[in-house]
Structure 1
Amino acid sequence: MAKNILGRMAADTLGLSDIGKIISPQDFDKVDGDDYIMHEDGEKIYFVIKSKSDEYVFTNRGLLHVDGANAVSRKRVVKRHEFYYERVDEVTLETAGTVDLDIEIKFNFGNERFSIDVDKKQLEQLKDLYKALVEISMIQGRNYTSVEDGINGLKMANDAISRNHLEGNPVNIVEDLAKFNFNWMENLRNTYNNKDFGEVFEKYINN
């Protein structure tokens, strides 16, 4: 046990560990991930965690993960996760024990599970990210329920129509029904599927 603790402390001192640091807003433009942000489309960085090998760049549109193979390799893989297409859930924050050097935030983004170690001295800042992700998760959950209710309502309406005789040209009836269904689903997506969570980040992130 003592050997493991000393090993971790030595690794951190020598710069061999992968404990992330929260980057100040004035340095956002200096991280690698900034090169891949869609500034032209209004995307904005709100929070950045940078470790020896990885960057986690949180924006109003989602998460940009600059994935490094290891601390010494220059090879990087850029992965984008967007709130519009993927849900955030199971957000947890693990604080440090007496001898721990790091704290940890965990969450699912779509099908991927993230577990990010951060310097324990930056707990207060990480709490802000935790609250923002929890709020986003709750909003997405409510939106998902609303979309499901809307889809079920549409199915019931179509079933009711199919059981009744409709007057008119069958081709026109089918075209009108298909157009109505498309517009209904499009309206559901536009109403209950947020693309931009900038307001949530501005509410919780104290930049």
Structure 2
Amino acid sequence: MLKKLASDALGLSDIGRIISPSDYDKVDADDFIMHEDEEKIFFLIKSRTDEYCFTNLALIHVDGTAAVSKKRLVKRYDYYKNDIKHVMIETAGTVDLDCELKFTMGNVDFSIDVNRNQLEQLKDIYKALIKIAHIVEENNILLEKSQQTLNLAAQACGSQRFETGDLSQVFANVNEYSFNWIYKARETYIQKDFTDVFKNYINN
């Protein structure tokens, strides 16, 4: 504990700080944002070695601890590809200088220390991550139900008898219908942009 306090006092710890939107253009993560596709930073935590950049499309982790020497390793986790689970905040104790945001994206566990004085701001990203997790989970259920419905329809069609001359046209029609069904379902139930969620919870 004494070593930790001394390290924090000397500014040598890895406690992160929530960066103001006016300084987003000064961080390394900004260079990896897909501005051309209207990607936007909504929340950013910066520590001595790492940056955790939450955009409307993904979490971008500029990892300084996993890289060799002073190099940085940039990792991108798109929300729609990586389920968010186990979102938690651990508040600071009496002598702690930091609070902690914990969550899992895909199969990667994150534990981010943040200055205890920024707990109220940290609650905003906590709420946003919880909401995104709920939306993605519900959409995955609806997408699966849509696929099950298509399978039942295909089985029903398979039990019907058709004249030999009609088989090629029937196959073409079924194939086109199935493709359009799947395409529409994916367009409806796979959400990639969570701008509205961040605008609702993050006060930039």
Following superposition, the deviation at residue 28 of structure 1 comes to: 0.5
The answer for the alignment partner of 1:118 in structure 2 is 114
On the 8 A contact 2:59/2:76 being kept in 1, the answer is yes
The one-letter code sitting in structure 1 at the alignment partner of 2:180 is N
The answer for the alignment partner of 2:130 in structure 1 is 134
The answer for the alignment partner of 1:194 in structure 2 is 191
SS at match of 2:103: strand
Residues 139-194 of structure 1: per-residue CA shift (max 9 Å, x gap)? 11111111011011111111111112134532222222222111111111110111
The answer for the alignment partner of 1:203 in structure 2 is 200
Matched residue pairs, number? Answer: 203
SS at match of 1:84: coil
1:33 aligns with 2:29: yes
On the 8 A contact 1:52/1:71 being kept in 2, the answer is no
SS at match of 1:52: coil
Following superposition, the deviation at residue 93 of structure 1 comes to: 1.0
CA–CA distance in structure 1, aligned partners of residues 182 and 66 of structure 2: 44
Following superposition, the deviation at residue 206 of structure 1 comes to: 0.9
* Consecutive unaligned residues in structure 1, runs of 5 or more: none
When the two structures are superposed, what TM-score results if normalisation uses the length of structure 2? 0.94
Following superposition, the deviation at residue 70 of structure 1 comes to: 6.8
Deviates more, 1:162-171 or 1:55-64: 162-171
1:154 aligns with 2:116: no
SS at match of 2:86: strand
SS at match of 2:144: helix
On the 8 A contact 2:80/2:136 being kept in 1, the answer is no
When the two structures are superposed, what TM-score results if normalisation uses the length of structure 1? 0.93
The answer for the alignment partner of 1:11 in structure 2 is 7
Counterpart among 62, 65, 87 of residue 91 in structure 1: 87
Runs of 4+ in 1 over 6 A off after TM superposition: none
Following superposition, the deviation at residue 111 of structure 1 comes to: 1.9
Residues 7-35 of structure 1: per-residue CA shift (max 9 Å, x gap)? 11111112221111100110001000000
Following superposition, the deviation at residue 86 of structure 1 comes to: 2.1
Deviates more, 1:146-155 or 1:86-95: 86-95
CA–CA distance in structure 2, aligned partners of residues 72 and 41 of structure 1: 31
The one-letter code sitting in structure 2 at the alignment partner of 1:170 is L
How large is the Cα RMSD of the aligned pairs? 1.6
* Consecutive unaligned residues in structure 2, runs of 5 or more: none
